[in-house]
Amino acid sequence: MEPEDLKLSTATTEELLALAREHLFRYQEAFTAPLIARAQGATLWDRDGREYLDFSSGQMCATIGHNHPRILEALRQSGERVIHLNSHLISEEVVLLAKKLADLLPEPLKKTLLLSTGGESTEVALKLAKMYTGKWEVVGIARAYHGHTGGAMAVTFLPRRAGFGPWQAGAYAIPAPYCYRCPLGLTFPQCQYACLDVGFELIDAQSVGALAACIAEPILSGGGIIEPPPGYFPELKRRCQERGMLFISDEAQTGLGRLGAMFAFEQDGIVPDILALSKTLGAGVPLAATVTSRAVEEVVVARGFGFLSSHMSDPLPAAVGLAVLEVLEKEDLVGAARAKGEYLKSQLLELQARHPLIGDVRGRGLLLGVEFVRDPVRKTPAEAEALALTQRCLEKGLVVQVASHRGVHTVWRLAPPLTITYEEIDRGVAIIDEALSEVMA
Ligand SMILES: Cc1ncc(COP(=O)(O)O)c(C=O)c1O
């Protein structure tokens, strides 16, 4: 790619970074190079023509690869048809997307609200559960992430919730099912889900008798790619049902193929009462959905349920959502996630055998976590080494993300687009191998 084709202005990259420092609000430590100018599939190019492999699928959205031709077609078509409408008017693409989701989902998940972001899909899910049950207490999992809006942050149990005063009253956390570092010091399966027993004992002690819902990610991604052990979700759902709570699955990152099933809850052998989809549905365009049953919809509508946003049921993102689902099926990306995920995981396990800095490799499909430790027995977190490795990989042309911005800097999230080729996986793994040798030299 020629640099001349990648530049929007005559400014140098250093000049643009200086402008970023002057005018962009710092939501992260610093804005640094590269400045990305183009994306295609699993490849990014900076404005100086350097190529990078993207093992983060953008912000976990680009599951079908960056700038997929079918998405470009949907965007072009929307430009010719209709991009945006007042939220009370609907278009054909919106109806077809709701129908397509209903076709893909099992009973009773047949009623969809089309939204823009994951935070919104969490807000709607919590509101539905509260209005349906007539209660208001909510339960989440320690280390969970559900978005930065008010209700979502109340059930987000990561350090980033600090600094804003109290969130919603009646929001409780149960321990994370973090088997590599079990908070109870136990081992699965001998533990018999003790983290759930302890969690719900504390919930029952604190509750004022108004438990409405429990929300969970199938794999706690932002909290460090924590994959709950087999059988965890049926046990969790049973405890919710015993207390009259609805179970909400937040599949922002896991929905639509990434784990090797269309929806992760299928692998866990449960069906949630409410499903939140976002990131992967728009594959890079803001699109989210909260899906529930006819029964829940019936009750909350009768009780005057209200939710509205400027981009609710907008035609352009709906057209993109339809394109994403079409590509997922046509290119069998669910099967690809399974096969390529197994391949990438085996490569990472092979690296672990040679590099003691890798304490754990976990996850499934193409949502994999690598935890770095100074010593594999004591599992001392290797935060400085993990950050140095991340930077070294970037310099070598591989984009990887630490799973969390603050507090948990020792776990990488490896989640390339499902369209990545085996040759690209090999290239990425070779870069990680080299970077590990250099950082530990
Ligand atoms: C599981 C989960 N839920 C919700 C969100 C929030 O999504 P958004 O950033 O689109 O509001 C995220 C984003 O990372 C997420 O990973």
The response to whether residue 57 sits with its C-beta less than 6 Å from ligand 1 reads: no
Q: Are residues 209 and 340 in the same domain?
A: no
Q: Are residues 108 and 247 in the same domain?
A: yes
Residue with CA at minimum distance from ligand 1 atom 3: 146
Q: Are residues 167 and 244 in the same domain?
A: yes
| Ligand 1 pocket: which of 117, 279, 290, 367 to mutate (most atoms within 8 A of CB) | 279
CA distance 352 to 232: 27
Query: Given a cut of 90, is residue 405 above it in pLDDT?
Result: no
Q: Could you give the number of structural domains in the chain? A: 2
Q: How confident is the model at residue 409 (pLDDT cuts 50, 70, 90)?
A: confident
The CATH code of the domain that includes 297 is: 3.40.640.10
| Ligand 1 pocket: which of 220, 277, 278 to mutate (most atoms within 8 A of CB) | 278
Instruction: Tell me, in angstroms, the distance from the centre of ligand 1 to residue 253's CA.
Output: 8
Instruction: Tell me, in angstroms, the distance from the centre of ligand 1 to residue 125's CA.
Output: 13
The response to whether residue 280 sits with its C-beta less than 6 Å from ligand 1 reads: no
Q: Are residues 352 and 291 in the same domain?
A: no
Domain presence at residue 178: yes
pLDDT at 404: 65
pLDDT at 407: 54
Q: Are residues 325 and 390 in the same domain?
A: no
Give pTM, 2 decimals: 0.97
Domain presence at residue 402: no
Each residue's pLDDT tens digit, 183-208:
999 999 999 999 999 999 999 999 99
Q: Are residues 315 and 240 in the same domain?
A: yes
CA distance 348 to 357: 12
Average pLDDT over residues 391-399: 97
Q: Are residues 186 and 282 in the same domain?
A: yes
Instruction: Tell me, in angstroms, the distance from the centre of ligand 1 to residue 276's CA.
Output: 10
- What percent of the chain shows pLDDT beyond 90? 95
Each residue's pLDDT tens digit, 130-143:
999 999 999 999 99
Report which residue type is found at 98. Answer: A
Q: How confident is the model at residue 159 (pLDDT cuts 50, 70, 90)?
A: confident
Q: Are residues 312 and 342 in the same domain?
A: no
The secondary structure of residue 143, as a DSSP letter, is: T
Q: Which atom of ligand 1 lies nearest, measured to the CA of 118?
A: 7
Coil/strand/helix, residue 118: helix
% helix, strand, coil for the chain, step of 5: 40, 15, 40
pLDDT at 268: 97
The CATH code of the domain that includes 340 is: 3.90.1150.10
Each residue's pLDDT tens digit, 274-320:
999 999 999 999 999 999 999 999 999 999 999 999 999 999 999 99
CA distance 417 to 61: 9
Q: Are residues 272 and 369 in the same domain?
A: no
